[in-house]
Chains A and B, each alone.
Chain A
Amino acid sequence: MKKKIGSALVVGSGISGIRSALDMAEQGYQVTLIDKAPHLGGVLTQLDYQFPTDHCGMCKMLPLVERDSSSQYCLRKGLFHENIDIMLSTELVAMEGEPGKFQVMLRQEPSMVDQERCIGCGECAGVCPVEVSDLFNAGLTRRKAIYLPIPHNIPNSYVVDMATCTHCGKCEKICPTQAIDFGKEARKKFRILVVDDELIVRDSLKEWLLDEGFEVHMAESGAEALEKMSETHFHLTLLDIKMPGIDGVEVLKRAKEIRPDLPVVMMTAYATVETAVEAMKIGAHDYLMKPFDPDSLMPLIVNLYHDIKGANVQEMEVGSVILAGGFDSYDPFSGKNTYGYGLFPNVVTSIEFERMLSGTGPNPGKLIRPGDGEEVQKIAWLQCVGSRDQQADADFCSSACCMFAVKEALLAKKKSGGKIDTTIFYMDMRTFGKDFQRYRDQAETESGVRFERSRVHSVDTTGKDDGRLRLAYADTAGAIHVEDFDMVVLAAGQRPPSSTQKVAEMCGVELNQWGFCQTEGFSLSRTNNEGVLVGGSFSGLKDISESVIQASSASLEASRIIHSKGGGLSEEPSPETDVRDVSREAPRVLAVICGCGGALSNSVNLDEISNWLEAKASVSEVHIIDSICTQDGWDNLKETLQNNLANRVLIGACMPYVYARKLKELGNSTGLNPQLMEVVDLRTLVFPGGDKENDLLKQEVRTVLSMSIEKLKGMDPLPVTTSKIIQKALVVGGGIAGLTAALAIADHGFEVTLVEKTGELGGNLRTLHRTIEGHSPQELMAKTISRVEKHPLIKTHKDAKIIYSQGYVGNFSTSIEREDGHGETIEHGVTVLATGGREADTKSYSYGESEAILTQQDLEQRLAEGTVAPAGLASVAMIQCVDSREEPRNYCSRICCQSALKNALFLKEQDPGIDIYIFYRDMMSYGFMETYFTQARKAGVIFVPYDVNQKPKVNLENGRPKLSAIDPILGREWVLEPDLLVLSTGIVPGDGLGVAGQFGVTVNQDGFYQEAESRWRPVDFIKEGVFMCGLAHSPRSIKETIAMANAAAQRSLRILNSEKLAAGSVVAEVRHSLCSLCERCIAFCPYEARHYSEDEEMIVVNELMCQGCGSCAAVCPNSASVLHGYSDQQVFGVIDAALENVA
């Protein structure tokens, strides 16, 4: 089934870029994913451990349905999806057109290294004379100008860093596979015209350029130059500006008339730089400054040559563009640098520290002081470096650094067996995300991480030559402490990437005051240009799960644009290929060995291998084809297979994961099931540097080949099953999350049933009247409800509840019952649970006993109604974290600080004379919310921190609240008698177990929905086909809720888009005759793909949900549960083969 009409461009291949690309690809769009860097993965390539598991887990983002469209492979190493074209070292250089129909121009840097030929042997780097700091290890190690961008990438080919390469050509000569080509041959045909009135300049340039292998022509005046230009076709002109007669600028003008496409580079002395800049405006390609020094000039010319000649510029049409350019780190060396970064070697940034912990880092994971290699015993983390600092132009919070520091402190503890002393110096510990607070608390109470509330002002040495660092800081009470540490880790904040301005101009999108992408109103992904969306940190500052959510939201919006412009996903019937049934044939394996451009044939005797293979009974033929990875080699292979009776194919080559798409295509053209084809990696075995004995190598090659033959022999592929999908959705919950999700799905042309338990749509929005940014939730609500009610594909049931649901992805059946007693049963393919949350009730602080004690929501409501008038208020006190961030509700509700700031600012705006006091534990004004915290301070709101063990006390006197609390700075007790006491009680989940139970999904200990994986699959339940969004997942703002609703819709659409969904080829099956119905497999299945069918009295596997992990096969006591392609017989055969050649 082929189904791609629309296409999208994703700029940036970090986590959010990958998420967006995968989303759209899974939905059926053709996606081009580009990145400026020569590698995929963005900043996450540098991070080995992620909160909260302290593992990676990125692979969890791979497709769960239609799995075979993508290689199931470590996502940190590479992404191989049939709908995604990846272009690295590529930038977006121009964009025109309108949403739904953009013409984009992409420019790919010439790589110099043929990716298909490079075998990653590293000889080139061995001879490269250039050494620069390696950005992958955050500058802690050095690398050559020809290098591996990421040590774990696949395929891992070397690339040339053109900015530092001196073009010495040494690597070109030593490369054993001739993969490196600096184009010396091509240079002979590259004609350069040098125009200068000074003989000496002409002569020396000529000499230098000839040395570099170019063809050089000269002209001593403008007139001569123009004459030559009209006669001969030049590829580049070097043109002096100051010449007698016709000057350079004039020559340029006329040259542009003669040959408009001729690149002209101006040569200028310092005095005429301005003229040169002018010349650029009328079409000069670049300019060079005199006097010239051949050592620096020639690389520039060569780069120009590659620029003109080598750069691969591609134009394409895409429906929408997603910008996911990520972020840059703040450079602590810039600015005042009171922390001595770059001066004291033991002061490092958090990314550097992360690299130091990594096995691919500077000291393979061993934590030692970078300055002197000494053991580390005591580490300090300093938060808010380049964040929350107006002197660093950062009136924002970088959102992720607090958790980053906690994680790093825990890792340091773990690495050292708890020996390292860890202290985090912070101002507010921003643990605002789901499960963050408990993680932080555990770090403190269980692992002994010390949290010190103080901003350290500077870092100094101890005065001795011991490499240690001295911190002086004032504690809250004002006492000054001096403490020495071995290392200091700076939580460097985030900044927009350097190219943001350029990209924004090109795409016509606006930036905010800090240079991040500005998003529209209530959206976190829409920009002012309808067809251009943003994902991830490009619009500012977020952690992985928020980036992933927002990336999915961006792809939803992108898809919606393409869809609305008529470029949607219409299915294009593709011929169903008839797969040959070979189950009754004896296995005949066609073995093809790739010579690998000589790399393999040089190391092992291929004829010998070939004879050995032919002697095997199951092998029908053996062929040796060189470079199967090239088109020629592949065609050769195809031809060989077509004229052959073989029913299995074994390819001995390299990198099996890149062949998924190719094997599918081979299957289509030959009628052989791709599952009967196997690619084995022979090349890794012969990697140079291994220095294996020839016999050992021979044995290894034989072993891997015979193992694969055994595997192929036992392969008995079933036809891939497809399930019919009911292309309808059920959305539970009529708040903004549910409404948004329903609209997003319905806008793609699918029917949606929306069930709301109350009589009204809108949920919490009904009580919200302003956002802190000044948007109107009421308007949003009215607009959204009206769109939902008018939408022909959305059917709304109010006053209705779910009474029963059953089924699985693609095939649910749910009964609802309305208040009037009428019921209905709905068939649907996916379910979105958006059951919301509400402000928590409280009994604390005498709530409910006085008219003057309100919650934040009460206050907002009364201000809107006018029952509380700012004019009548003299003083207002607010208490944050009421019953929150301590057991049993030990989580941050994330939005209360915003609400308090919003209400406080509103009151101050209405009447600056009102005294407002906010009692808080940590102000969670993350991201750009920080600026409102600043504003509130400036407006005169008094903020008083309190400790959880010393909460403010509230008594009622004559029905009026009297509040006493300690001001830790002044160290004295305050007594206030505010006119209003406002409590921030936080959010609790609205539904709880009711709906979750009906759909067989789980909630966490706080009653919020339990997602499949908090970072990588934040809106999925473990149970495929059911998704969550909004407050029911965790407390969040309107914007964040909408983004999440879009993400849930996006996850739904990838299922709804097809009439049928194919299961993976590797799925489990139950041999019912052997099954004793012990149901252990059901408990063990991590994907809930199994259930006991009472009707059939047997264990049933849902093949769509089964991910082929094999847990069931392992746990089954009777071998009744089997995994296709991994039957016992087969696996034993493979093991025997593995041992057979061992001497």
Chain B
Amino acid sequence: MAEKQIDFDIPVDGSDLLESVQESVRACMQCGTCSGSCANSFAMDFTPRHLWRLAQLGETDEIFNSKTFYLCSACYYCTLRCPRGLKLTEAMSALKRLATARGIKRHRQSSKFYEIFIKTVERYGRVREMEFINRYFFSLKDPLLPLEFVSLGFNLMKKRKIPFQLPILKPVRDQNGKVKYFEGRFERLFRKVEELEAR
């Protein structure tokens, strides 16, 4: 029997992706392996199984009101153990992308976090903590927010988890030698890939 392949790589703007998520968890029989396995379930408002149940029932609003999927750390335990062989981690990622694309306010912090994180990675091929944190705080446009993280930040810096680093950016110039913008070492690579993919 040819299994219908579930494609999570379709554009995020359509509702197709949501349907894909729903489709992908239809065979779920609520055995609870994922919930039991989940390392972050203690922090979630719904356990993963609860979320899949909502997906089966088409309760989209409730899903996007939940922070469960944003708390998925993609450890892949559930995917590894699911007796139905469901691609649960991918479904979680798809939900994150959907929430970002939909610009759901409740998830702005999380969306921005992911967005800035990946932008930093695009610059350097790795995350540079100091720069990432700063850009993240700026993007949230909430001057009070960083205050909440002060003590954590100090602790991390004490343990040298966040080194002092300035951005390493090279100027990109036009034909006249005028600086157009600054870019990280890796950005050109990503741009090239984008160009190729667009073709």
Binding site for B on A (CB under 8 A): 336, 338, 384, 388-392, 427, 454-458, 472-476, 478, 480, 933-934, 937-940, 942-943, 945, 967, 969-970
CB 8 Å contact bits of B46-90 with A (1 = contact, 0 = none): 110110011011000000000000000000010011111100000
CB 8 Å contact bits of B12-26 with A (1 = contact, 0 = none): 000000000000001
A457 near B27 (CB under 8 angstroms)? no
A474 near B84 (CB under 8 angstroms)? no
Identify which of A390, A456, A473, A474 gathers the most chain B CB atoms within 10 Å of its CB.
Answer: A474
B80 near A969 (CB under 8 angstroms)? no
B27 near A938 (CB under 8 angstroms)? yes
Closest to A456 in B: B36
Q: How far is the CB of A347 from chain B (nearest CB, A)?
A: 16
A478 near B85 (CB under 8 angstroms)? no
Partner of B35, one of A338, A478, A938: A478
Q: Which residues does chain B contribute within 8 Å of A458, judged by CB atoms?
A: 37, 81
B82 near A391 (CB under 8 angstroms)? yes
> How far apart sit A391 and B37, CA to CA, in the bound complex (Å)?
16
Partner of B85, one of A390, A455, A969, A970: A390
Q: What 6 new A-B contacts, CB under 8 Å, besides A384-B83, A474-B32, A475-B32?
A: A392-B83, A455-B83, A458-B37, A473-B32, A934-B27, A970-B50
Q: How far is the CB of A328 from chain B (nearest CB, A)?
A: 20
Q: Which residues does chain A contribute within 8 Å of B42, judged by CB atoms?
A: 480
B80 near A338 (CB under 8 angstroms)? yes
Partner of A967, one of B27, B53, B81: B53
> Is B30 an interface position by the 8 A CB rule?
yes
Partner of B27, one of A338, A427, A937: A937
Q: Which residues does chain A contribute within 8 Å of B50, judged by CB atoms?
A: 478, 969-970
> Is B31 an interface position by the 8 A CB rule?
yes
Q: Which residues does chain B contribute within 8 Å of A939, judged by CB atoms?
A: 26
Binding site for A on B (CB under 8 A): 26-37, 41-42, 46-47, 49-50, 53-54, 56-57, 77, 80-85
> How far apart sit A456 and B56, CA to CA, in the bound complex (Å)?
22
Main secondary structure of the interface of B (DSSP, over half): helix
B26 near A938 (CB under 8 angstroms)? yes
Closest to A945 in B: B30
Given A336-B80, A478-B49, A455 contacting B27 (CB threshold 8 A)? no
Q: How far is the CB of B26 from chain A (nearest CB, A)?
A: 5
> How far apart sit A567 and B134, CA to CA, in the bound complex (Å)?
91
Partner of A937, one of B28, B33, B47, B80: B28
- 20 A-B residue pairs with CB within 8 Å: A389-B83, A391-B82, A392-B83, A427-B29, A427-B31, A455-B31, A457-B37, A458-B37, A458-B81, A472-B36, A475-B32, A476-B32, A478-B47, A933-B29, A938-B26, A938-B27, A942-B56, A967-B53, A969-B50, A970-B54
> How far apart sit A519 and B74, CA to CA, in the bound complex (Å)?
44
Q: How far is the CB of B77 from chain A (nearest CB, A)?
A: 7
Partner of A454, one of B36, B54, B56, B80: B36
Closest to B77 in A: A457
A943 near B29 (CB under 8 angstroms)? yes
Closest to A969 in B: B53
Q: Which residues does chain B contribute within 8 Å of A473, judged by CB atoms?
A: 32, 36
A455 near B37 (CB under 8 angstroms)? no
Q: How far is the CB of A458 from chain B (nearest CB, A)?
A: 7
Q: Which residues does chain B contribute within 8 Å of A933, judged by CB atoms?
A: 29
Identify which of B28, B36, B46, B84 gathers the most chain A CB atoms within 10 Å of its CB.
Answer: B36
Partner of B29, one of A338, A457, A480, A937: A937
Q: Which residues does chain A contribute within 8 Å of B34, judged by CB atoms?
A: 457
> How far apart sit A454 and B30, CA to CA, in the bound complex (Å)?
9
Q: How far is the CB of A748 from chain B (nearest CB, A)?
A: 40
Partner of B81, one of A338, A940, A945, A969: A338
B81 near A454 (CB under 8 angstroms)? no
Identify which of B34, B83, B84 gathers the most chain A CB atoms within 10 Å of its CB.
Answer: B83
Q: How far is the CB of A463 from chain B (nearest CB, A)?
A: 16
Partner of A474, one of B27, B35, B81: B35
Q: Which residues does chain A contribute within 8 Å of B47, judged by CB atoms?
A: 474, 478
> How far apart sit A969 and B55, CA to CA, in the bound complex (Å)?
12
Given A391-B85, A478-B47, A938-B26, A457 contacting B36 (CB threshold 8 A)? yes
Q: Which residues does chain A contribute within 8 Å of B35, judged by CB atoms?
A: 474, 478, 480
Given A338-B80, A478-B50, A938-B26, A454 contacting B32 (CB threshold 8 A)? yes
In the A-B complex, the 10 residue pairs with the smallest Cβ-Cβ separation, listed nearest first, are A474-B35, A455-B31, A390-B85, A474-B36, A478-B47, A474-B32, A389-B83, A457-B37, A969-B53, A457-B33
Closest to A338 in B: B81
Q: How far is the CB of A758 from chain B (nearest CB, A)?
A: 41
A455 near B53 (CB under 8 angstroms)? no
> How far apart sit A170 and B27, CA to CA, in the bound complex (Å)?
60
> How far apart sit A277 and B19, CA to CA, in the bound complex (Å)?
51
Q: How far is the CB of B21 from chain A (nearest CB, A)?
A: 14
Q: How far is the CB of B50 from chain A (nearest CB, A)?
A: 6
Q: How far is the CB of A477 from chain B (nearest CB, A)?
A: 9
> How far apart sit A392 and B57, CA to CA, in the bound complex (Å)?
28
Identify which of A336, A338, A391 gathers the most chain B CB atoms within 10 Å of its CB.
Answer: A391
Q: Which residues does chain A contribute within 8 Å of B85, judged by CB atoms?
A: 390-391
Q: How far is the CB of B66 from chain A (nearest CB, A)?
A: 12
B32 near A455 (CB under 8 angstroms)? yes
B37 near A969 (CB under 8 angstroms)? no
Q: Which residues does chain A contribute within 8 Å of B46, judged by CB atoms?
A: 478
> How far apart sit A336 and B85, CA to CA, in the bound complex (Å)?
12
> How far apart sit A942 and B22, CA to CA, in the bound complex (Å)?
12
